[in-house]
Copies of this chain bind each other. A is one copy, B any other.
């Protein structure tokens, strides 16, 4: 994802392409692990010390409204943000408060099929998110290295 890509994404949504918006979107992509507004502000200020807190929040709202990013919320934490829009779920570690992306199209199809057959009365499903809560365990010595996250 280059700066040009980001500019184009903003432009396609009819949003004015401003340095602040580029910086916020870039920060979320670079930081990559569901940053909070504070994380994003700290990151951006390294290069643009004068960006206002309020601006970052307003930019985040605009990006969410235009579906360029998503909000991610845990039971304990402040709001976090996620630039990855490809359908995925989240693993929440109750010990460390870490959130990890969990991609599994197989599971998505299973759920989609399930709800195609068993509709929920008086409800139109737009999106299904799994919050998989538990604990990260230390990697087993001989386990194959496998990734839950999308290749760059």
Question: What is the interface of chain A, defined by CB distance below 8 A to chain B?
Answer: 71, 73-76, 79, 91, 94, 100, 102, 104, 106-107, 110, 114, 118, 120-140, 143, 146, 148
- Quickly give the copy total for this chain: 2
Which residue of chain B has its CB nearest to the CB of A74? Answer: B73
Main secondary structure of the interface of A (DSSP, over half): mixed
Given known contacts A127-B133, A133-B128, A110 and B121 CB-to-CB distance under 8 angstroms: no
Q: Are the C-beta atoms of B139 and A134 separated by less than 8 Å?
A: no
Alpha-carbon distance between A135 and B121 when the two chains are bound, in angstroms: 11
Candidates B75, B128, B138; contact of A122 at CB < 8 Å: B138
Q: Is the CB of B132 within 8 A of A130?
A: no
Q: Which residues of B contact A127 (CB under 8 A)?
A: 132-134
Given contacts A73-B74, A74-B73, contact A126 B134 (CB under 8 A): yes
Q: Are A131 and B134 also in contact (CB < 8 A) when A73-B73, A91-B123 are?
A: no
> Whose C-beta in chain B lies nearest to the C-beta of A100?
B123
